[in-house]
Structure 1
Amino acid sequence: MKLFVCQACKNILYFENRSCGRCGHRLAFMPERQTLSAIEPAGEGFRTLADGGEGRFFCANAEHDACNWLLEIGETAGFCRACRHNGTIPNLSDPVQLAGWRELEVAKHRLFYSLIRWKLPVKTRIEDPQHGLIFNFLADDPAGQQKVMTGHDHGLITIALAEADDIERERRRLEMDEPYRTLLGHFRHEVGHYFWDVLVRDAGRLDACRAMFGDDSQDYGEALKRHYDEGAPANWQDNFVSAYATTHPWEDFAETWAHYLHIVDTLEMASEFGIEIDPPADQIGGLTARVTFDPYVADDFDAIVNAWLPFTFAMNSVARAMGARDLYPFILTPPVIAKLGFIHELVRQGARAKPAAAQTMPAGQEQEEEIGAA
């Protein structure tokens, strides 16, 4: 993720900022320029100080303080490039569900920042009714009879609204003995399944993927049951980035995909701060790194790995000094690094592919009262 600068007063801004803390200008994200811009009212719309353009309008979800992205140039109503992928959203008359949905949107917009930076092929349900990417944010049945399960099914990603509750998410993390569980992690993992369909299955790369991750034709339901009954095999850390990655090749791919997104986006932020790792105690140079490159455009995956390993060692050491858990509680062995390299090449190839035609009509956002909504 980048740091941004207010065009009105030069204040440093962050991706989630809605207004400048120094000069008070309202801020909007311009997806086509991948930048945050100070804006000023101009006629019925806004003028963007980043480029002096006029006639820009906010996504419809700005009305609910769930989005600060601008519509495409020339559009005056509808949903932005990220929100047009929404299907069902929670009951917005319920303050708890509204607050939870806003948290989900923060994570989803960070996901779309990465997808846009890479120019990866993403279609809406209007463009591809059978497999377009769509998100349903669903609340549990209050009677406790039906729990929403986060997952992916042919482009439809369901995210349980309960995951936006920090206490509930931590309870689930502990119950499932996971070292890491975040909303952003869920989005990155589930979209990995979508891109397995798009960049592997539909792009003729099944054989190469199977050579790296294993035979995905094995029964998924049986594999999932075996995982929950027996757990991960012994010494799973030697070949997998997480215990859950051992479940099935599809989950191994999605977990590795998510970690690749973690790595690239975190290194971009480190680069924005000009971070260098050079501990005096390191006598052989294994923990030295200068994170001064843009990992989103890096062709050489070795450069990413060589920066990531020292950086995570430093991050985890600082977290421990604060009495907190490791920020990155994972071990990247050579087999796992090879899988990450496969994802790197897949993303680079996907970014070089001819982009889909521009959408002329934004997808609708179906707002429904979930089961059990107040």
Structure 2
Amino acid sequence: MVSSVDRRAVIVGSGALLLAGHGSAKGAPMTSESVSDSPADLHDGWRVGSPAGHGFDPALLQDMRRRVADGRLDNVHAIIVARDGVLVYEQYAAGQDQNGLEPAKHTVFNATTRHNGNSMTKSVTSLLVGVALQRGWIKTLDALVLDYFPEYADVRTPEKSGITLYHLLTMSDGLDWSEFKPPFDSLGNMRGAKDAYRYVLERPAAAPPGHTYNYNSGATELIGAVLRKTSGKSLDVLARDELLAPLGIEDVEWNRQLPDGQPQASGALRARPRDWAKLGQLVINRGVWNDRQIVPSAWIADSIKPRNNGPGMFLYGYHWWLGRSFCRGRVVEWAGAMGWGGQRLMIIPDLGLVALVHAWLPNRMNLPETILLNEFEFILPAAMPS
């Protein structure tokens, strides 16, 4: 998740794209040493090509690669860049890995290494809501949330009775929730609660539904429960059947569970970097992959449309962050899935650009921020050569 609430949060959100790592494991697909080369064709559904062949300035990307090799960027594990549906840049590095709630350990990342998405998983959950609406499992986003949970009739109050699925998707449910922050850690309490859904629904109302943005992983867990109740499938099975398998994504792990054994909808998915990038390409393609409509086009459009004010100058869609960056005299609008510690999947429709970065930077946000501030370096400027 993104914790900063000032103007520089927008810079961090897109700036993490501009980092890269270097290295590969023995026996794993190697990253080319020159950006004039195309990434390896792993027969995983991606077409591959060179950056120069798709409108990038290779000199800027090569400079980034050298800086990584010199050790001036650390603990950034993977970066993937695609344009117009073609994978054009891929780089990996060794660093401290965060796996679930376990202590970080040293890992040599490569194309076959799964990586935490953390709250990027929320955007995956949003894609599944679009599928559920198309299938008729969910009839409308105006459905009242508590109607899906008759077992918790005792927590119903007039203030909470009006919360809808729309409010959950836009983080405007109005519940009193403090993610990671004093006076209490709502996220940690939910994960440790005997009944996580009851814990969320028992939070008192702090504002009327729809009036106030407040980042709430509990809202996503309620959405995950609704998906399970309406589809008859656990979230991991639903995601596999309706989203991941059609994208050719098979090597995944859900590494956090709620106390009832259900995978966490708000931040549990681990997948290979190229596979995370496929989800971004799916959004750019309005729900299509290899000529197959996987997620409804209208849902994709609605999801990355501003629905709420986020922190600082962010906007928020249906579990997608929205923002803009300034580069080469031009304002560039983007949508992104973001996760704690430097996980970023950014989509820039006007440039046909998908960029993914995986890192582990839980206590240090200045590095991606600093790199973005120089508009003459790295990925976004390379995609917009003067």
- Same structural fold, with TM-score higher than 0.5 when normalized by the shorter chain: no
Using CA pairs under 8 Å that are at least 6 residues apart, name the structure with larger relative contact order, 1 or 2: 2
More strand by share: 2
Taking structure 2 as the reference length, the TM-score comes to 0.27
Bigger Rg over Cα: 1
